[in-house]
């Protein structure tokens, strides 16, 4: 077991390990960003971030919210992978403050080059913090994680350069490529933890059967998709893209079938993970149909990915990781089950109801905001307090 010297531990629990500030800050920011975006859409107030509200919304829900949670999870997980103490104390404070400054920079009177530098520096620093212990311990299975973080950083830079050039096409390609890279990371991390958590949660102690061909196929397909966005192949209907999206939907479906166990439906920490991952299937199928010429709005597939899969998996993972890394039993209060369900309802409202009535968008924001509020209500004290078992972290 990893034991950190008492003298090396930060005085405040919040800075003990990466998941604490980034889970707390990311979820609180997502709640504020949702309310700001919906308020502007219905005309309650007017905001003028650099580049406009649409550019801000596209960038921040991915490179602000999702990336913060990814950073918190990976900076915590790398300690378990390597046995080397994770980022904590002042270095963690500095990284978090850089992320926080990035969120505020859109509304500050900063030169454009400085905004880009602030925004674009965060992910490379996260990749550096991950690379040091991974390379030191020669954890070759985790090298793709570093690569994915750097590729997401490259997509952010493409988006920011598009913003500098006032080029909506570059911005759109950068955001969508980054979004599908996050989906690739969800595929990698989900492929590791969802079957593992499921078997452990159900008391099955035998290891998960290895299916490297399936994991590699999912990874290759997931990484190929962002490249097609960067190259512009996803800007119009294309039969080869339809085949790629359909194949990836099938691969994710096969995974879901292999991971399924009826006992998981009695455990909110399990069914929340499985339902969130399942949204990758309609997201891929929707784009497969669009590329095949079916008149479907591709933004619905994007929101199936962002609301259903990404946000659903984020809330479920934050709930479990926060309990495990603070030494608490892996049991959530009943109201957190409602939080998991509300994310599912938010995705259904955005993807199925919103195309027919504006009420769907309002319901989606309401359900997602309520889910984030429930998470913050229960997990704010957990994230701010020291581990209950006295261990570091």
pLDDT digits (tens, 9 = 90+) for 274-298: 999 999 999 999 999 998 989 889 9
Full-model pTM: 0.93
Q: Would you place residue 190 in the very low, low, confident or very high pLDDT band (cuts 50, 70, 90)?
A: very high
- pLDDT of 89 reads 94
Distance between CA atoms of residues 275 and 308, nearest Å: 8
- pLDDT of 9 reads 55
The structure tokens 């891929």 sit at: 284
For 78-93, write each residue's pLDDT tens digit: 999 999 999 999 999 9
- 11-384: which CATH architecture? Up-down Bundle (1.20)
Q: Give the N- to C-terminal CA distance of the chain in Å, as an integer.
A: 12
The full set of domain ranges for the chain reads 11-384
């Amino acid at each position: 077991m990893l034991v950190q010297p008492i003298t090396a531990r930060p005085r405040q629990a919040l800075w003990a390990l990466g998941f604490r500030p980034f889970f707390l800050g990311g979820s609180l920011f997502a709640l504020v960003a949702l309310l700001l975006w919906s308020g502007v859409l219905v005309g309650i107030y007017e905001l003028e971030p650099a580049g406009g509200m649409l550019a801000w919304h596209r960038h921040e829900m991915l490179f602000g919210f999702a990336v913060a949670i990814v950073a918190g999870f990976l900076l915590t997980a790398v300690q378990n992978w390597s046995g080397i103490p994770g980022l904590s104390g002042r270095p963690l404070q500095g990284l978090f403050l850089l992320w926080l400054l990035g969120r505020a920079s859109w509304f500050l009177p900063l030169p454009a080059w400085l905004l880009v530098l602030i925004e674009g520096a965060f992910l490379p620093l996260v990749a550096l913090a991950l690379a040091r212990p991974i390379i030191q311990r020669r954890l070759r299975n985790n090298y793709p994680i570093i690569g994915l973080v750097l590729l997401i950083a490259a997509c952010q830079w493409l988006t920011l350069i598009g913003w500098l050039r006032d080029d909506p096409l570059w911005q759109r390609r950068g955001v969508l490529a980054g979004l599908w890279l996050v989906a690739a990371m969800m595929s990698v991390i989900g492929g590791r933890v969802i079957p593992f958590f499921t078997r452990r949660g159900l008391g099955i102690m035998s290891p998960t059967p290895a299916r490297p061909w399936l994991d590699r196929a999912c990874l290759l397909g997931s990484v190929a998709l962002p490249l097609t966005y960067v190259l512009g192949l996803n800007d119009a209907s294309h039969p080869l893209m339809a085949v790629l999206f359909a194949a990836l939907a099938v691969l994710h479906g096969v995974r879901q079938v292999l991971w399924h166990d009826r006992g998981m439906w009695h455990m909110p920490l399990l069914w929340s993970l499985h339902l969130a991952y399942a949204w990758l299937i309609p997201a891929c199928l929707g784009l497969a149909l669009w590329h095949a010429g079916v008149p479907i709005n591709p933004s619905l597939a994007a929101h199936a990915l962002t609301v259903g899969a990404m946000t659903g998996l984020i809330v479920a993972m934050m709930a479990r990781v926060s309990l495990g890394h603070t030494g608490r039993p892996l049991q959530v209060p009943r109201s957190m089950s409602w939080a998991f369900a509300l994310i599912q309802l938010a995705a259904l409202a955005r993807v199925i109801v919103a195309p027919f009535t504006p009420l769907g968008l309002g319901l989606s924001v309401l359900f997602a905001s309520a889910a984030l509020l429930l998470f913050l209500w229960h997990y704010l004290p957990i994230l701010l307090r020291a581990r209950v078992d006295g261990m570091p972290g």
